[in-house]
A and B are shown apart, each in its own frame.
Chain A
Amino acid sequence: MSQQNLESLDVEAIREEFPILEREFDGQQVVYLDNAATTQTPDPVVDAMSDYYRESNANVHRGIHHLSQEASIAYEEAHDRVAEFIGADGREEIVFTKNTTESENLIAYSWGLNELGPGDEIVLTEMEHHASLVTWQQIAKRTGANVEYIRVDETGRLDMDHARDLIGDDTALVSAVHVSNTLGTVNPVGELTALAHEHGALSFIDGAQAVPNRPVDVSEIDADFYAFSGHKMAGPTGIGVLYGKQSLLEELEPYLYGGGMIRKVTFEDSTWGELPWKFEPGTPPIAEAVGLHAAIDWLEDLGMERVQAHEEELAAYAYDQLAAEGDVEIYGPEGGADRGGLVSFNLDGVHAHDLTSILNDHTVAVRAGDHCTQPLHDKLGVPASTRASFYVYNTREEIDKLIDALDDARALFA
């Protein structure tokens, strides 16, 4: 990527919409590099949500009064906006959940528990987030199905030969992360989905680390299910998305029951309402849906191609700077088109938690731990790693601050 591309995203102007980035601790301005955990929220998104509460707040769907109509339209239109953003056919295919984890669980309970049995195979990857790994493990235990894992090779990419070996006629589901939250690897999810379909299996793609930073088209991937979270894409916490092909969602039983999802209820039985509402019982996250809508508008104004180019540029820069240090071990592919905007690493002789505490002295915010990929860390042979993850407001200078702070850790632990 050229410097031109990086400048074509006006980072200075973007940063003005994030007052939180001006915060100082001990006189030092925060360097926020924990975006894979959650991104910061720009003023237009905060404003959209506060405007909603100030001007339009009411419960949705059932109200006849003006405010409820306004709230209902805003809530329903947020589904349309998400559908348009990811290339879905319409609001029927967009279910709002609490987060990616709940989207995974919805399919696990609604489809997995009902459809899986002994002899069925669930194929995951070794780089799955616990959101899917733990969930499908438990569903397998209850149904007698087996879980298999597509290997991660020494470059941090999926071993696709192994994938072709594993995915067979017993496979009922292939569930994979689109972008790994630990290795940064961008996986060939279209190819995995095609493999699943060749064998009559479904595909579930966890896009929590993909939708925020690259153009995603679910129809191009042909995924049966696709999930992501609002708070990792400049939107609010408390809202996640489950995309599902309409024909599949129509067949599925609801996972949660209650009001707002029904067609008819008698003392004996109930029938379910239209998509997507049959999967959204109870009062949904209305303000959060308004916020997510605003976040998508905001991101599309920036242009998702430019967002992606910015992320790749920063990830490649961080990778190169860290690799040049000599005593840093980096996990996952080198910078480039198949690495998302994050870099996980360890500094030789310093535990990730200690390093992260020392970086915090320099007000550099990164994450330490297993990033909810404990089995992957076991495979890498480390208990934990430090992860720097980037977003549209980050700069090379911020990465330089991280690199400079490594010297302090070396001095202490030498």
Chain B
Amino acid sequence: MGLGSDMYRQQILDHYKNPRNYGELEDPTFTHIGENPMCGDEIRMDVKLDDDEETIEQVAFSGDGCAISQASASMLSGELRGKTVDELLEMDRDDVIDMLGVDISPMRVKCAVLAEKVAQDGAEIYQGDLDVEKTTTEDD
């Protein structure tokens, strides 16, 4: 079997079929929507910060997409809890791929990093470093 099937290990499929933290938060500190224009997948990330305005207390995601982008969002939503906004901003694609624990074929990397990119863009907009309504993974 080639790279493709290796991507669809049990953990990925489990997160895809039973996504964690799926939905919207009632009172998010920031919310952002982004898309992967290659496939039209769109993800919304809601992030709620602790009273210290630094630590991520809760994350939720919503949207439709392929197994890789949905599983990545599901896993990331758990992974981010307890991290600081700066730690979120420091994450890169290797961190996401490590988190997924599978080889991602080059053409699917954008699917894998969509949720991370949307959360980071949301954080940057929250911090006043980015000024857009909607971002995409196109410029990665």
B66 on interface, CB distance cutoff 8 Å: yes
Chain B residues with Cβ below 8 Å from A351 are: 39, 65-67
Contact surface of B with A, Cβ cutoff 8 Å: 1-5, 7-8, 13, 17, 38-42, 64-68, 105, 108, 111
Main secondary structure of the interface of A (DSSP, over half): helix
Interface of B is mostly: mixed
A412 and B64 within 8 A (CB):
no
The 10 closest A-B pairs by CB, nearest first: A351-B66, A357-B4, A353-B66, A361-B4, A383-B40, A361-B2, A354-B67, A361-B5, A354-B66, A412-B8
Complex alpha-carbon distance, A374 and B42, angstroms: 13
16 inter-chain pairs at a CB distance below 8 angstroms, sorted by A residue, are: A351-B66, A351-B67, A352-B66, A353-B66, A358-B5, A360-B4, A361-B4, A363-B2, A369-B39, A370-B39, A370-B40, A377-B40, A383-B65, A384-B39, A412-B8, A413-B13
- In the bound complex, do residue B5 and residue A412 qualify as a contact, i.e. CB atoms below 8 Å apart? yes
- In which size bucket is the chain A interface? 20 to 34
Interface string of A360-389 (1 = CB under 8 A from B): 110100001110001001000001100000
Is the pair A353, B13 in contact by a Cβ cutoff of 8 Å?
no
Quote the shortest CB–CB distance from B11 to chain A (angstroms). 13
Q: Provide the bound-state CA to CA distance between A383 and B3, in Å.
A: 24
Distance between Cα atoms of A412 and B3 in the complex (Å): 14
Task: Report A-chain residues with C-beta under 8 Å of the C-beta of B108.
Answer: 353, 357
CB pair A374–B40 under 8 Å, yes or no, is yes
Find chain B residues with CB under 8 A from A384 CB.
39-40
Q: Is A407 an interface residue (CB 8 A)?
A: no
Cβ of A267 < 8 Å from any Cβ of B? Answer: no
**In the bound complex, do residue A354 and residue B8 qualify as a contact, i.e. CB atoms below 8 Å apart?**
yes
The answer for the CA separation of A358 and B64 in the assembled complex, in Å, is 19
Instruction: Report the Cα distance A354→B111, complex, angstroms.
Output: 10
